[in-house]
Amino acid sequence: MNSRFLWVALGGLSIIAGIFALMNPLAATLTVEQLTGWSFLFLGVLLLWAAFRAPGWDGRAWVMMLGLAFAVLGVWLLARPMAGIISLTLMVALVFLVSGLFKILISFALRGTVAFWLLLISGAVSVLLAVMILGNFPAAAATILGLLLAVELISSGVSMIALAGTRAAAD
């Protein structure tokens, strides 16, 4: 099996998974929340394990506190999925808002270049998405994470298939 076939197969699976996420964004949102919870729990346990295995004490206390915080956050997300969905959705909206504002500010430093309009439009889209999420906040929490996952899966799938095409051209 050549690598081109593998890229196309992975891209196709990613697109199919994205379509399934679009068909049921609530289930996809719950999946994102649970994966996030397990990821934080796993990372927290690994950090705690690494802190106990590290020789010496310099920095160990900070790593232990960080590991404990990650583990507690992971358990909290797993135990309270609805509260986790609301919290994660709020964080996504705030990240969109802050990144959008920064992109707009950066774009003005690049006035007169091609990047000016691209950054300005990208920043405006990010701010608009944040306003849309925050404007419909509690209701948006049920589906927005799943929709974002769907868009990411479809986008990644298309990218993988495009990479397979460039790989074929290079061979």
| 136 backbone dihedrals φ, ψ, rounded to 5° | -125, 40
Number of domains forming the structure of the chain: 1
- Strands, E assignment, the chain: none
Each residue's pLDDT tens digit, 65-100: 999 999 999 999 999 999 988 998 888 889 989 998
User: What is the pLDDT, as a whole number, of residue 79?
Assistant: 94
Query: Which token pair is 99?
Result: 């990144």
**How many residues are listed for the chain in this entry?**
171
The answer, as to whether pTM is greater than 0.75, is: no
Each residue's pLDDT tens digit, 27-65: 998 988 999 999 999 999 999 998 888 777 677 888 889
CA distance 148 to 145: 5
Each residue's pLDDT tens digit, 92-148: 889 989 998 999 998 898 888 888 888 888 889 889 988 988 888 878 888 888 888
- Full domain range(s) for residue 31: 3-170
- What's CA 77's distance to the chain center, in Å? 16
The one-letter amino acid code at 20 reads F
